[in-house]
């Protein structure tokens, strides 16, 4: 009996197979003359050669679709298995501003004019500064670009970092080991990743070091090659930290620095490394600097009003 073996190396097998192998059950309805076995990270099929070839081709299309859109269900399987040779089976709703499809096929895109400018700048420069108040999508857009680059194999890893400066708290008084203390501080980065990468795949990427989330101090001494690196909350970096970070850039690397100069938690009289870098590098070729403002706020409508109210107070002072 003829046999083919398909190793699922590009997608998480459990998610691809579906709940209780529901996706495999759907495939069996289209290929009743072959035996299909899903086990571990391998899909095997037994039967006539010509049917196996067609099954392999359609399965490859399903894998490619899931890898791009993070969703696979009966409707999509029906469309892909029944599709013609050249038919493009894609989800509805994608636009030119779509960055990628997140968990469950969720469309993640640049939603405002400045967010689109940010995406364009990241596509055209190896280093980009994204500057703006809370809620303008700086970090989220950057993480989406990083995940896209990883999916498209433009980089081999994602490195996300923040300066460990506490707003009114001291990490030493928090319970647990270092990772447990830092996890809440890094939570916004985890939240963005969970929107874009299925949970099992994300867990695997973190365990393998494909995605690394660490305090800025942990970047010292490293050379970051083949990586998409994001420094978040950069306004809380010092002169030496910012210089150290910017000089970690290795071959085939993308660096993005996000921050809000209006929310600095550093001790008084200490200069923000972000503010200094913006002055020093403002005319450097190959470095993009994009400013976002209250028009780019995509959180609750009240957030924009709060930002405006604080602007009035700060201006008066």
Nearest alpha-carbon partner for 133 in 272, 271, 273, 305: 305
Closest CA to 245 of 259, 229, 226, 233: 229
pLDDT at 184: 66
- CA distances, 98 to each of 69, 87, 152, 162, 265 (Å): 11, 21, 15, 27, 34
Ranges of each domain in the chain: 2-82, 98-316
pLDDT at 175: 47
| Adjacency order of strands within the sheet including 42-47 | 2-7, 42-47, 35-39
CATH class of the structural domain 2-82: alpha beta
Q: Which pair of structure tokens corresponds to residue 95?
A: 């636009």
How many whole angstroms from its chain centre is CA 206? 12
Q: Is 98-316 CATH 3.30.10.20?
A: no
Which residues of the chain have a pLDDT value below 70?
83-96, 165-185, 299, 314-317
pLDDT tens-digit series, residues 103-144: 878 888 888 888 999 999 999 999 999 999 888 889 999 999
Quick one: pLDDT at residue 165? 63
Task: Report the pLDDT value the prediction gives residue 315, as an integer from 0 to 100.
Answer: 59
Q: Please classify residue 113 by burial: count the beta carbons closer than 10 Å to its beta carbon, then call 0-12 exposed, 13-18 middle and 19+ buried.
A: exposed
> pTM to 2 decimals?
0.69
Q: Give the pair of three-digit tokens for residue 115.
A: 């967010």
Other Cβ atoms closer than 10 A to 192: 23
Cα(84)–Cα(189) distance, integer angstroms: 40
């Amino acid at each position: 009996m003829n046999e083919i073996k398909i190793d699922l190396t590009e997608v998480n097998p459990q998610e691809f197979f579906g709940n209780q192998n529901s996706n495999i059950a759907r495939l069996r309805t289209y290929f009743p003359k072959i035996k299909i076995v899903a086990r571990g990270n391998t899909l095997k099929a037994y039967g006539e050669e010509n049917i196996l070839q067609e099954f392999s081709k359609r399965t490859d299309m399903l894998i490619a679709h899931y890898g791009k859109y993070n969703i696979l269900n009966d409707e999509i399987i029906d469309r892909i298995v029944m599709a013609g040779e050249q038919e493009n089976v894609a989800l509805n709703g994608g636009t030119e501003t779509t960055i990628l499809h997140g968990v469950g096929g969720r469309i993640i895109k640049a939603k405002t004019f400045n967010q689109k400018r940010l995406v364009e700048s990241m596509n055209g420069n190896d280093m980009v500064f994204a500057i703006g108040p809370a809620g303008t999508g700086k970090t989220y857009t950057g993480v989406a670009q990083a995940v896209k680059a990883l999916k498209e194999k433009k980089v081999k890893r994602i490195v996300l970092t923040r300066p460990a400066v506490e707003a009114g708290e001291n990490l030493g008084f928090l319970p647990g080991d270092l990772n447990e203390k830092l996890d809440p501080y890094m939570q916004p980065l985890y939240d963005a990743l969970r929107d874009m990468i299925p949970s099992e795949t994300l867990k695997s990427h973190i365990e393998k070091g494909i995605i690394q989330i660490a305090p800025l101090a942990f970047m010292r001494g490293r050379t970051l090659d083949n990586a998409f690196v994001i420094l978040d909350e950069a306004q809380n970096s010092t002169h030496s930290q910012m210089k150290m970070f910017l000089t970690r850039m290795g071959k085939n690397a993308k660096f993005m620095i996000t921050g809000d100069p209006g929310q600095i938690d550093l001790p008084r009289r200490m200069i923000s490394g972000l503010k200094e870098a913006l002055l020093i590098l403002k005319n450097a070729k190959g470095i993009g600097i994009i400013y976002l403002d209250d028009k780019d706020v995509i959180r609750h409508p009240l957030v924009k009003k709060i930002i405006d109210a604080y602007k009035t107070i700060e201006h008066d002072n």
